[in-house]
Amino acid sequence: MSKSSHRMHFKYLDGLRGIAALFVVLYHLWQFVITRPDLGQPPGWFKVLSVLKLGPFAVSVFIVLSGYCLMLPIARLEQPALAGGLAQFIQRRARRILPAYYAALAASIGLVIAAPGLRAPTGSQWDIALPALTPASILTHITLTHNLFEEWQWTINPPLWSAALEWQIYFVFALALLAIWRRGGPIAALGAAYGLGLLPILFGMSYLGSWFLGLFAIGMIAAAINVAPSPAFRWLRSRAPWGVIAGAAGLSFGALILMPPSLVHLHSAIMDSWVGVATAALLIKCTSQLLQHNRLPPGLGFLSSSVFVGLGRISYSLYLTHYPIIALVFLLLLPRGFGPVGLFAALLLVGLPVMLGVAYAMYRAFERPLMRPAVSGQAIGNNVLGGEAPVDPA
């Protein structure tokens, strides 16, 4: 692989991340409206928006992307290892996600303090964030452990739970998964990730979402299929029909979602993994096409469009900050007497520009200044959490 290939930036990863983040925002807008039956009966066509209930699966996409992007620079090596060792890896990850996280946490707490209506139940989706300002809730958020406790997991700002989860996954990746990969190979690493991730379910702790560790490992394997030098991975990337796999997995997942729960009710770990496989296959197909032909597969060029790539760059800040803004705008609009359609439209027209503006300001203040280009010849791809520069060496 040439030196220029090492420095290649895959814009479509930003585009995919931007679309996923926007889908999460639209899901939460819809959720705030649909959980208030007192707004009246929506018209029949409004049911089309029920597709937004797939919003939580965007987290599955984010986690696969994270494993993929962090593994890309490592998978090229004969002996996969972290550049600079564990300490530098954690330092890079901390610099990348913690400033924006703590800024969003502080802003969320400040907004709850400034808006008394957000400190009391409103009968809306915001109520899962309450009580927001207890000492235990604040402390666990500061230490990025709130996702481990069911009573504090969603408080203050519900989407922050996955930032804590990803922070914890980084340590498992660096301390365990890479070592298992070196000794036992990718299948052993995947088995260990799912074994560890599914264990809490046996103790009734499904709320942890710990199976996302397995999706992270799926992303790792996808990266290796794209760039690892071993004959097995070279065979997989050139012979397997990754586009067909991605399409089949996506369509079958959609079919399962459309079936009534009385007929098909699968655990979230299975459904998230289904999305993970579809995402991984899509990443392998797109990256292979770019490396071989310098273009995305037909029909997927929109992933590299300037709109979605730009959205991808601010997607981490958008994900961290959008929920309290929706809650505040919802609280301000509710007395206006909108029906469900009117309220959704008002939330979209008023709230979305505010969310995008806040996310861009957050990105400029707490993300972009801390990005740095990769060392030449050390990395390929880009970071799942944002940025137009190539990824730091993992």
Angle between helices 315-333 and 11-34 (to 10 degrees): 20
Residue 297: CB atoms within 10 Å: 18
In a domain, 394, yes or no: no
**Structural domain boundaries enclosing 57:** 3-370
Global pTM value: 0.92
Instruction: Count structural domains, the chain.
Output: 1
In a domain, 278, yes or no: yes
Sign of the alpha-carbon torsion through 376, 377, 380, 383: negative
List the Cα angle 313/315/316 in 5-degree steps: 105
Task: Write the CA distances from 288 to 238, 242, 271, 330, 373, integer angstroms.
Answer: 8, 10, 26, 44, 23
d(CA 321, CA 359): 7
Residue 376 is predicted with a pLDDT of: 33
In a domain, 387, yes or no: no
d(CA 211, CA 331): 35
Q: Which of 384, 354, 387, 355 is nearest to 372 (CA)?
A: 387
Residue 373 is predicted with a pLDDT of: 54
In the chain, DSSP assigns E strands to: none
d(CA 296, CA 288): 9
Residue 256 is predicted with a pLDDT of: 84
Q: Is 176 exposed, middle or buried (CB count within 10 Å of its CB: 0-12, 13-18, 19+)?
A: middle
Extract the residue ranges of the chain whose pLDDT is less than 70: 1-9, 262-264, 372-394
Task: Write the CA distances from 227 to 67, 92, 236, 237, 276, integer angstroms.
Answer: 14, 22, 11, 9, 19
Q: N- to C-terminal Cα distance for the chain?
A: 18
Q: Which of 284, 191, 272, 189 is nearest to 237 (CA)?
A: 284
In a domain, 381, yes or no: no
Where residue 281 falls (left for φ over 0; alpha for ψ -120 to 50; beta otherwise) is alpha
Q: Which of 100, 6, 160, 167 is nearest to 369 (CA)?
A: 100
H-type alpha helices, 115-185: 135-142, 160-172, 178-184
Which helix H or strand E contains 93, and what residues bound it? helix 85-114
In a domain, 389, yes or no: no
In a domain, 379, yes or no: no
Residue with the two structure tokens 């760039």: 227
In a domain, 356, yes or no: yes
Residue 381 is predicted with a pLDDT of: 38
**Which amino acid makes up residue 79?**
Q
In a domain, 283, yes or no: yes
